[in-house]
Chain A
Amino acid sequence: MSKLVVTSIGPASSVQDAGRPGSQRYGLVPSGAMDRLALAAANTLVGNELFAAAIEIGPFGAAFTARGGAVRIGLAGAARNADIGGRPVASDSSATLAEGETLNLGFARGGSFSYLAIEHGIEGEPMFGSLSVNARAGLGSPYTRPLQSGDELTTHPASGAAERRIELPDATDAPIRVLFGPQDDEFSDENKQLFVGSEWKISATSDRMGYRLEGPVIKHLDGHNIVSDGTVNGSIQVPGNGQPIVLMPDRGTSGGYPKIATVISVDFGRFAQISAGRPFRFKAVTMAEARAEAIKFHQFLRSLPDRLRAIEDFSLNIEALRDANVAGQAVSAVDAATWQVAVP
Chain B
Amino acid sequence: MPETLSPPRLLPSGDAAITVEFSRTIDDAANRRVLALDRLIAAEPIGGITETVPTYRSLLVHYNPVEIGFEALGEQLLARAAKALPTAAGTRRWRIPVAYGGENGIDLEDVAKALGTTPDEIVTRHVAGDYRVAMIGFTPGWSYLSGLEKFLHMPRRKDPRLLTPAGTISIGGIQTGVQCLAGPSGWHLLGRTAVRTYQLHRDPIFLLEPGDAITFTAVDAKTFAEQDRAAEAGEFIAELVTP
A residues adjacent to B (C-beta < 8 A): 21-28, 127, 136-139, 179-183, 226-232, 234-235, 252-254, 259, 262-265, 287, 290-291, 293-295, 298
Contact = CB atoms under 8 A, between A and B. Distances in A.
Contacts of B140: 23, 26-28, 137
A230 B19 contact: yes
Contacts of B206: 23, 26, 28
20 contacts: A21-B50, A23-B140, A27-B139, A137-B181, A138-B200, A180-B12, A181-B11, A227-B25, A227-B26, A227-B57, A229-B56, A230-B19, A230-B58, A232-B62, A252-B137, A254-B137, A290-B65, A291-B70, A294-B15, A294-B66
Given A181-B12, A259-B13, A228 B24 contact: no
B139 A252 contact: yes
Given A26-B141, A254-B137, A287 B70 contact: yes
B56 A228 contact: yes
B13 A262 contact: yes
Nearest to B139: A27
B5 interface: no
A324 B206 CA distance: 48
A182 B51 contact: no
A244 to B, nearest CB: 15
Nearest to A289: B15
A65 to B, nearest CB: 31
A230 B60 contact: yes
Contacts of A26: 136, 140-141, 198, 206
Contacts of A293: 15
Contact of B135 (A183, A228, A295): A228
Given A27-B139, A254-B135, A254-B137, 7 more contacts: A25-B210, A138-B200, A181-B11, A181-B13, A232-B14, A293-B15, A294-B15
A263 B206 CA distance: 30
A179 B16 CA distance: 11
Interface of B: 11-17, 19, 21, 24-26, 38, 50-60, 62, 65-66, 69-70, 135-142, 144, 181, 183, 198, 200, 206, 210
A335 B65 CA distance: 37
B165 to A, nearest CB: 15
Contacts of A294: 15-16, 65-66
A291 B25 CA distance: 31
A262 B12 contact: yes
Contacts of B62: 21, 24, 232
Nearest to B180: A27
Question: Nearest 5 pairs between A and B by C-beta?
Answer: A230-B60, A254-B137, A262-B14, A182-B11, A290-B15
Interface centre among B19, B52, B206 (most CB of A within 10 A): B19
Contacts of A28: 140, 198, 206
Given A21-B50, A26-B198, A230-B13, A265 B65 contact: yes
A265 B12 contact: no
Nearest to B143: A27
Given A25-B53, A136-B181, A235 B13 contact: yes
A27 B66 CA distance: 26
A294 B59 CA distance: 23
Given A226-B24, A294-B15, A27 B141 contact: yes
A73 B126 CA distance: 57
Contact of B19 (A25, A138, A229): A229
A91 B16 CA distance: 31
A259 B21 CA distance: 14
Contact of B136 (A25, A227, A295): A25
Contacts of B50: 21-22
Contacts of B66: 294-295, 298
B65 to A, nearest CB: 4
Contacts of B69: 287, 291
A263 B17 CA distance: 12
Interface centre among A24, A26, A226, A264 (most CB of B within 10 A): A26
A137 B12 CA distance: 28
A132 B60 CA distance: 23
Contacts of A139: 200
